[in-house]
Amino acid sequence: MMAEKFTLPELTALRSELLQSGLCSTDAAEVLQLFLAGRGYGISTEAAANVMSQLGAGLPLEAVQKELDRVALVN
């Protein structure tokens, strides 16, 4: 079994930030990019936008973790 790249507190903080009211999809994708960059990972703008659309409105924590582990590319 592969270890997760991100801790539960990190993912919880990211999820909270993404759920802020008024955060448009472009801003949410940018938040995701900054989150990953701050941890040594990268993601294209298009891929970040795709992740956000895949996750949907509720952003279940397990889904966030699974998607980020899948798409995060080491810089």
Task: With both helix axes pointing from N to C terminus, report the angle between 61-71 and 45-55 in degrees, rounded to the nearest 10.
Answer: 150
What's the mean pLDDT in 42-66? 86
pLDDT in tens, 21-48: 667 888 989 999 999 999 999 899 899 9
Percent of the chain with pLDDT over 70: 91
Residue 61 lies in a domain: yes
Q: How far apart are CA 43 and CA 75, in angstroms?
A: 9
Q: Which domain holds residue 53?
A: 8-74
The Cα–Cα gap between 15 and 2 comes to 22
Task: Indicate whether 22 belongs to any domain.
Answer: yes
User: Do the domain assignments include residue 3?
Assistant: no
- Whether 2 is in a domain gets the answer no
Evaluate whether residue 20 is within a structural domain: yes
Residue 67 in any domain: the answer is yes
DSSP 39-57: TTEE--HHHHHHHHHHHTT
Q: Looking at the domain assignment, is residue 1 inside a domain?
A: no
pTM, to two decimals: 0.84
Dihedral (CA of 49, 68, 6, 42) sign: negative
**What percent of the chain has a predicted confidence (pLDDT) above 90?**
29
Mean local confidence (pLDDT), 40-69: 87
Domain count, the chain: 1
